[in-house]
Amino acid sequence: MSADRVDPANAQELANIAGEIGADVLKGDLRHPSDTGGWQLDDIDLEEYLARYRDQQVVVIIAPLGRAPDPTYTCGVCGFVMDEGPRVPAM
């Protein structure tokens, strides 16, 4: 079963219960591809994170809360915040 969106209050309640019983709870904006080419949840590389659970039986619950905001990029030279990624100047 999947949903387009889960009520944020219900998702938070589920996260609180999971945390209370000792489960790992992650929350953030899911992106693909990341700088490393894989899946990233905020600043967590999910491939690296999930590697610690290799060969274990797990339960994964995903509660979509809505569309993530478009990412922004900060120019390393002037500090200007841009809506699009860095571009290589034409030669």
* pLDDT tens, residue by residue, 49-76: 999 999 999 999 999 998 888 877 788 8
- What would the two tokens of residue 30 be? 């899911």
Domain membership of residue 66 (yes or no) is yes
How would residue 3 be classed by pLDDT, with cut points 50, 70 and 90?
low
Higher pLDDT, 67 or 22: 22
In a domain, 2, yes or no: no
Residues 50 and 39: their CA atoms lie apart, in Å, by 11
Beta bridge partners of 81: 74
* Number of domains the chain is built from: 1
Residue range of the domain that includes 69: 8-82
State residue 83's pLDDT score.
Answer: 74
Domain presence at residue 35: yes
Confidence of residue 85 (pLDDT cuts 50, 70, 90): low
Q: Examine residue 49 and state whether it is found in any structural domain, yes or no.
A: yes
User: What is the per-residue pLDDT for 20?
Assistant: 97
